[in-house]
Amino acid sequence: MCGIVGYIGNNKDIALGLEALKRLEYRGYDSAGIAAYDEATGTIVFAKAVGKIENLERKLAGSSIGGSPILLHTRWATHGEATEENAHPHADCKGNIFLVHNGIIENYAQLKQKLAERGHTFASETDTEVLPHLIEHFFRGNLEEAVRKALSLVKGSYAVAVIAKEDPGKIVAARLSSPLVLSVNGSGGFVASDPAALLAHSNKVVFLDDEEVAVVRQDGFSVSDLKNNLKEKEVTELEWSLEEAQKGGYEHFMLKEIMEQPESIANALRGRLLLEEGKARLGGVEHLREKLRQVKRMNILAMGTALYAGRVGEYMLEEYAGIPCEVDSASEFRYRKPVLDEHTASLFVSQSGETADTLAALKEVKDKGGLALGIVNAVGSSIARGTDAGVYNHAGSEIGVASTKAFTSQLTVLALLALFLGRQRDLSLVIGQCIAKELSRLPELVAKTLESAPQVEEMAKKYKGKENFLYIGRKYSYPIAMEGALKLKEISYIHAEGYGAGEMKHGPIALIDENFPTVALCPSDSVYEKMVSSVQEIKARRGPVIAIATEGNKEIGQLADDVLYIPKTLEMLTPVLSVIPLQLFAYYMGVLRGHNVDMPRNLAKSVTVE
């Protein structure tokens, strides 16, 4: 959510910063801005625009704005509407301090009142604007010292980058519960809210931790805490390449990422299957092997799509590892009084590893001394660093806001974890071998499932005018029904609800008529007959039905109006296949209805505020 880019170096052309900022467009935003130090005049010049970065570029055309250091930002409105006044960067009263910010300042009203009493005037409705004024209050010629003093009074979350005309040879950056990364190389010094902005210049980055302050110059950097104690920081070499962030000939990133799933799942499995032993090798949790053997209960905590992956994982872990699980929205978990003991593990699932609510739940678990595990895609992310152990997805960068390949890689890793923990307990060699073998076939089965894309597109043309959908499933397919409904809502803006099929008679069936289609997940599994009964109830009320069924099932074709087939696999792995036609259906519905499927309205890729 929101994007930060900062640069200091010999290149005074603002095109460098604008290109980096464009790589963060997937995060969702409604305005953009720039501020640059002009060495010739000794001033900081700036510009802002509502809407896309191209609007900012049009405003900058023919202007003399340029210089170094430079700050750029894309804002997603929280406090105050999307206006130029509310866009970042924000400045102090004197035009000395300029700042960009991601996060929320919870005590901004109190700070604003005190600053106003001291003569400060404000130009925006934002919480952010108190920060440059607060830094101005403490500024005595040293920018980092003023930033430290200001942030010590702040409550909430922040990733900030700050420049000052009276201390121009640096960018000062700091974070608390919102991601920030820096890199210094031959091109100069960089700061960004996401490594994707920096990959054109370097894949060697430094991730800031909470309450750390970095001073970035064109030839080096230093990091300290809020009390000015120096910190040693590790340089992380990212595996992602700039090419991964390109569309590769596809019309949209979302379609590209759907089609990449055979590869992303293969990457999640690579080196982790022991076929003959029927086991999984997970290096990220190996050092806790004996402690994990003692786990008797698991909390799975996540948000959004990752939460639905966790609900599939609940079935896997209970059925094959024999570990009772409770799945909860991370946003609700922190407001309960969770019971944690030495035999309880908490598993945090997040694509970005920076999800604010999930991070807050992680802090709650760590504060109570609980064992914290993670499944994340982003190397070096806050959740990856904050958990005791974890497993990376290795799905590669995911640019489309609606998660696709990250979701199926999460399901794959959860299956590996169930196999790992199950074989520690009572899962037999034979069943372990069966699971491992079928996991090894997943990339091939996913590739086969993707061959149905033209059929799904034709089906979307048939249903594109519908405004309501019901998605139903049971057991492993229940979370996939919710995920399928979520995808349709995100991408096509069509109202859709995901339900357990057993709930039909308890209310949702009242909605069914000839204009209310149902997507029924009917793989040939242990609850297939139950699903057929639900489909018959819907058809008795003239409701159109799209069925997702296992290849070879002719019976369902006699009931459903349309059928999409998936290959046969183990029941526990069916979700990996059955979600793919739902992803494609949402994609084509969004495209046919004229929407920007890569950047759906009001949404952001990484939700870094509550």
Q: Name the residue among 324, 342, 327 with its Cα closest to residue 288.
A: 342
Q: What is the DSSP letter of 567?
A: -
CB 52 within 8 A of CB 107: no
Identify which of 422, 442, 383, 382 has the alpha carbon closest to the alpha carbon of residue 566.
Answer: 442
Given 22, 48, 112, 605, which residue is catalytic?
605
Which residues are within 8 A (CB) of 93 and not within 5 positions of it... i.e. 6 or more apart? Answer: 119, 120, 121, 133, 136
179 exposure class (CB count in 10 Å sphere: 0-12, 13-18, 19+): buried
Contact by Cβ (8 Å): 374, 391: yes
- Asked if residues 377 and 353 have their Cβ atoms less than 8 Å apart, the reply is yes
Please provide the DSSP assignment of 73-104 as one string: EEE--SSS-S-TTTSSPEE-TTS-EEEEEEEE
Q: Of 2, 170, 256, 279, which residue is the catalytic one? A: 2
8 Å CB contact between 64 and 74: no
Three-state SS for 38?
strand
Bridging pattern class, strands 31-38 and 325-329? unpaired
Q: Cα(501)–Cα(529) distance, rounded to whole angstroms?
A: 12
Verify whether residue 522 is a known catalytic residue: no
Phi, psi (rounded to 5 degrees) for 50: -85, 145
The gap from C-alpha 599 to its chain's centroid, in whole angstroms, comes to 13
Told to judge if 434 belongs to the known catalytic residues of this protein, a careful annotator would answer: no
For residues 165 and 593, what is the distance between their CA atoms, to the nearest angstrom?
A: 48
Distance CA 586, CA 606 (A): 20
Bridge partners of residue 215, in order along the sequence: 172, 222
Contact 278, 439 (CB under 8 A): no
Question: In residues, how long is the chain?
Answer: 610
DSSP structure class, residue 343 = T
Half-sphere exposure of 207 (CA within 13 A, CB side): 22
3-class SS at 16?
Answer: helix
Residues that are catalytic: 2, 605
